[in-house]
């Protein structure tokens, strides 16, 4: 990758796509700077044809003219990896937005780039190797404390040699650029290691053995954890029309998911949604660590008002940082909102490159790009026998809620779980608006092995509830035509049971401090209660009598959901509900 820096001159410009005639050696994906007056604009080589390089500029290209000089840097678009990433807010190119705001105010100026990680902050470093130890890439050299976990300082992943440690810095406080160890390779060349390393964002970072995910990822949302569960190291998507609650759902996952680190990639969405995270997360406390949620969060913020070209970089930047923490044996969750905006950026650039368009003018390679992104998820068995996982979830924003459009279809082909949000449910104020009739997961059988320990025949009970939901929906459609009087009392009871399950179990009140997060043990207890109700053969003579009983029962169970678990008030309300059910059953 090292070369004498090539230079070039702009010959054509099409928006943020420039044709640059260059001298020297360059490669696809290489970073370059466009020199406009006294400023330099970052850009990336996306195509090379002879001595003409096509580069996409990550800034507004105002001021670029014929023969504007271009300097190629000799390396790919890279992420800086090291202590200090947690709690940071970056743009798609990993510029620290808080530092930029201090330097230039709240309106970002073009051509301003600041190192992502603080070069002056000192970290308490503890070495974990000694002189004459043999190490390879990814092996731990030492540790620093970052947030609530030990941040491992590893041998840079770009090296493939076997190293012998020749120098180790003693325990103390050091900056990320100070040498903390030295080593020689087998040919006697000496290398210096610091806490800082870099990695190309479009190349997967994986040192270890990829394994099949087996551990369930608990989200605290009932419809997800029991109906459509996911695993640590899995992939999922949340397509839905505008206003259906995709971002609200992703914020819930960022707050309550049972992981060590959350990377939020705001890719082309409105800035207000990122502001909500910045406002709420410092005040919210993580249940696991009793620290503010921001202490486990990294935000990659490339909103709709920022350069379109950097959207693709923001998605890759997020997953690269996540892969780095996975190498430490941590469980990481990446939330990309929204991958549709990333695809639109690809479509825009594809049009400027004059490529043959695919469906709806998206590039023909759309499906492979989306697949390569989600394939970077997974569970990794490390050399020290620790296991790290990377779970990727992407929001998809199909125009008009059309799930047949190319981005949604390309995503569905590669993810392991589909949580489809529907306009009908969101308009009915049913939160979360995940439609149980169209959603699916490939991880139910694996997750049921965990849940079977808490509830016998869990898989059988899940299939029973899905059958009731489907039958209830079919009966509702008939009722819309013939009315309540046109259906039998048994069909009416089936419909009321499905509505009870929907209102009391599938829906949650995100404004209630208790119901917004439902622990797995509480979910199982409520699910078991509703399964008992499904199994009862209630006897009613009138439709109104059945409706009145189930509405009364629904109110009682909803009130139960708002009471703290296993308190005396909870146990008392639970007993009242059980007595009401069994009293009605005794009258059969």
Of 76-85, 454-463, 576-585, the poorest mean pLDDT is in 576-585
**Per-residue confidence (pLDDT) for residue 275, from 0 to 100:** 81
Asked if 378 and 319 count as a contact pair (C-beta separation under 8 A), the reply is: no
**Integer Cα distance of 44 and 568 in angstroms:** 62
What's the pLDDT tens digit per position in 463-490?
999 999 999 999 999 999 998 888 999 9
Q: HEC profile for 63-97?
A: CCCCCCEEEEEEEECEEEECCCCCCCEECCCCCEH
Distance CA 517, CA 514 (A): 6
pLDDT tens-digit readout, 79-124: 999 999 999 999 889 999 888 888 888 777 888 889 999 999 999 9
Which tokens go with 62?
């105002």
CB atoms within 10 A of CB 449: 12
Tokens of 28: 């696809």
> Measuring CA to CA, which residue among 262, 209, 259, 217 is closest to residue 235?
217
Contact 421, 246 (CB under 8 A): yes
**Percentage above 70 pLDDT, the chain:** 99
Sheet of 149-154: strands edge to edge? 149-154, 140-146, 123-127, 172-174
Tokens coding 147: 């947030």
pLDDT of 502-516, one tens digit each? 999 999 998 899 999
H-helix or E-strand spanning residue 11: strand 7-14
* pLDDT tier at 432, thresholds 50, 70, 90: very high
486-491's contacts with Cβ under 8 Å and 24+ in sequence apart are: 489/540, 489/541, 489/542, 489/543, 489/546
Residues 6+ apart with CB under 8 A from 155: 135, 136, 137, 138, 139, 141, 163, 183, 193
Instruction: Count CB atoms within 10 A of the CB of residue 524.
Output: 17
**Domains, the chain, ranges and CATH?**
7-76 (2.40.30.20), 123-195 (2.40.50.100), 209-444 (3.40.50.300), 458-586 (1.10.1140.10)
Q: Is the Cβ–Cβ distance between 93 and 131 less than 8 Å?
A: no
pTM value?
0.94
From CA 287, how far away is CA 152, in angstroms rounded?
24
Span 334-390, pLDDT tens digits: 999 889 989 998 999 999 999 999 999 999 999 999 999 999 999 999 998 999 999
- Run of H or E residues at 134: strand 134-135
* 487 CB-side CA count, 13 A: 23
């Amino acid at each position: 990758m090292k070369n004498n820096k090539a230079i070039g001159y702009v010959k054509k410009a099409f928006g943020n796509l420039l044709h640059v005639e260059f001298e020297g050696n360059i490669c696809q994906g290489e970073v370059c700077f466009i020199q406009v007056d006294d400023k330099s604009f970052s850009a990336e080589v996306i195509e090379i044809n002879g001595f003409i390089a096509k580069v996409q500029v990550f800034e507004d290209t105002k001021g670029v003219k014929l023969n504007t000089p271009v300097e190629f840097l000799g390396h790919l678009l890279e992420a800086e990896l090291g202590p200090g990433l947690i709690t940071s807010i970056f743009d798609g190119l990993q510029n620290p937005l808080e530092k930029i705001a201090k330097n230039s105010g709240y309106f970002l100026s073009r051509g301003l780039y600041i190192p992502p990680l603080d070069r002056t902050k000192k970290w308490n470093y503890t070495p974990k190797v000694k002189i004459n130890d043999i190490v390879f890439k990814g092996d731990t050299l030492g540790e620093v404390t970052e947030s609530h976990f030990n941040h491992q300082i590893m041998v840079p992943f770009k090296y493939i040699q076997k190293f012998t440690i020749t120098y180790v810095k003693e325990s103390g406080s050091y900056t990320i650029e100070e040498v903390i160890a030295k080593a020689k390779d087998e040919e006697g060349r000496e290398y210096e290691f610091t806490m800082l390393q870099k990695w190309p964002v479009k190349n997967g970072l994986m040192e270890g053995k990829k394994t099949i995910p087996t551990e369930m990822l608990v989200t605290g949302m009932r419809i997800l954890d029991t109906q459509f569960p996911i695993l640590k190291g899995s992939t999922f998507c949340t397509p839905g029309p505008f206003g259906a609650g995709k971002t609200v759902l992703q914020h819930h996952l960022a707050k309550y998911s049972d992981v060590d680190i959350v990377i939020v990639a705001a890719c082309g969405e409105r800035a207000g949604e990122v502001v909500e995270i910045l406002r709420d997360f410092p005040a919210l406390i993580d249940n696991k660590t009793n620290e503010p949620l921001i202490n486990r969060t990294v935000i990659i913020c490339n909103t709709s008002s920022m350069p379109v070209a950097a959207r693709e970089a923001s998605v890759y930047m997020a997953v690269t940082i996540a892969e780095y923490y996975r190498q430490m044996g941590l469980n990481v969750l990446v939330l990309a909102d929204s991958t549709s905006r990333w695809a639109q950026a690809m479509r825009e650039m594809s049009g400027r490159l004059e490529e043959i368009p695919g469906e709806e003018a998206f590039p023909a390679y759309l499906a492979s790009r989306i697949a390569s992104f989600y394939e970077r998820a997974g569970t990794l068995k490390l050399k020290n026998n620790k296991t790290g996982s990377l779970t990727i979830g992407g929001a998809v924003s199909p125009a008009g809620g059309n799930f047949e459009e190319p981005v949604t279809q390309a995503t569905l082909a590669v993810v392991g779980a589909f949580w489809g949000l529907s306009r009908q449910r969101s308009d009915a104020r049913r939160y979360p608006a995940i439609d149980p009739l169209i959603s699916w997961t490939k991880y139910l059988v694996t997750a049921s092995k965990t849940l079977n320990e808490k509830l016998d025949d869990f898989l059988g009970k899940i299939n029973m509830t899905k059958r009731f939901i489907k039958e209830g929906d079919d009966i509702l459609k008939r009722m819309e035509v013939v009315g309540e009087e046109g259906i039998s009392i048994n069909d009416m009871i089936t419909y009321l049971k499905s509505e009870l399950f929907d209102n009391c179990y599938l829906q949650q009140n995100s404004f209630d401090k208790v119901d917004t997060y439902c622990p797995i043990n509480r979910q199982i207890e409520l699910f078991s209660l509703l399964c008992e109700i499904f199994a009862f053969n209630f006897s009613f003579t009138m439709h109104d009598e059945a409706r009145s009983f189930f509405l009364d029962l629904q109110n009682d169970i909803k009130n139960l959901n708002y009471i703290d678990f296993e308190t005396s008030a909870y146990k008392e309300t639970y007993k009242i509900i059980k007595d009401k059910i069994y009293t009605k059953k005794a009258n059969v």
